[in-house]
Amino acid sequence: MSFSLLWIPVTLAASLLQTARNLTQRSLTEVIGVVGATQVRFLFGLPFALLFLVLVCLASGALPPMPDLRAFGFAVFGALTQILATALMLAAMRERSFAVTTAYTKTEPVQVALFGAALLGDALGWPKFAAIVVATAGVVLMSWKPGDKLSAAGMRPAALGIGAGAAFALSAIGFRGAIQTLPEGHFLMRATTILALGLALQTLLLTLYMLVANRPALILSLRNWRRSLTAGFLGAAASQCWFLGFSLTTAANVRTLALVEVPLAQIASRRIFSEGTSWRELLGMAMIVAGVGALLLLAI
């Protein structure tokens, strides 16, 4: 049985689950703050990742593969860069609007493609690279506010936002590298093993940090355990789908297809709030659809 195209539905599922997780985390932010809500994704997601791993082991009748030093190094790299990416993104959002910061961070697919080609040897021809650039340019066009100019004062948030996109790209490369370099196991086993390992590393690091620097937020997240568990489950489920995608195709393919959530979210918000859509937003959505469509045709 061929699983060559399975990355497409699992990536779409990851996008939907991530959107639901973001909504849940947004509600938690009002109660436990940004740092606390960010940490919930890891602390309360880890039990579900371990449960996923147990279920995969029971279904396959095999134990998880033991990561060698190279796979463990990739996992550590992915875990650390994902934490760094989140911190840079939040820092950028303190200084610029959500829309502009999103435009900066959504340069990630182009950076993923470049890093993947350089670090993992992922195939990257000019047609695929052109499709990624078109889709990413569409995101930037939709997110950018008319009249915004990059002045000297705006260099810091721009650097933070683009740095966040680079860190997210490196995180995707790190986790895909860890999955690829595991010595054995079916793609589902390898993806789930690295998910559990990555969340364990992130939970350990962030919990230690919060015990030292922000203990009240950690305590509040435990008190709000019901919503925290929901966010943790959605985060773990989304990550499970992302990692499955990474195990089946290049990180650039996965991250570019995930851009479909941008026009879908835009359409939904327009319908809910009965707001009009500008020509710039329509053109941006068309560019995203064209870029993603071209990527899928090249991948099939």
Tokens matching residue 259: 């851009």
The pLDDT, as a whole number, for residue 52 is 95
Of 95 and 194, the one with more pLDDT:
194
CA pair distance 42, 260, nearest whole angstrom: 25
pLDDT tens digits, one per residue of 86-102: 778 767 766 665 555 66
The pLDDT, as a whole number, for residue 146 is 63
Mean pLDDT on 189-193: 94
pLDDT tens digits, one per residue of 37-62: 778 888 999 999 999 999 999 999 88
147's torsion region: left (phi>0), alpha (psi -120 to 50) or beta? left
pLDDT at 292 over 60: yes
Q: What is the pTM of this model?
A: 0.79
Matching residue, tokens 């996992």 = 75
The pLDDT, as a whole number, for residue 163 is 84
Q: Which amino acid would we find at residue 12?
A: L
pLDDT at 243 over 60: yes
Query: Nearest CA to 172 among 99, 131, 235, 119?
Result: 119
- Following CA atoms 192, 196, 199, 202 in sequence, which dihedral angle do they give, to the nearest 10 degrees? -130
Domain locations in the chain? 7-125+149-248
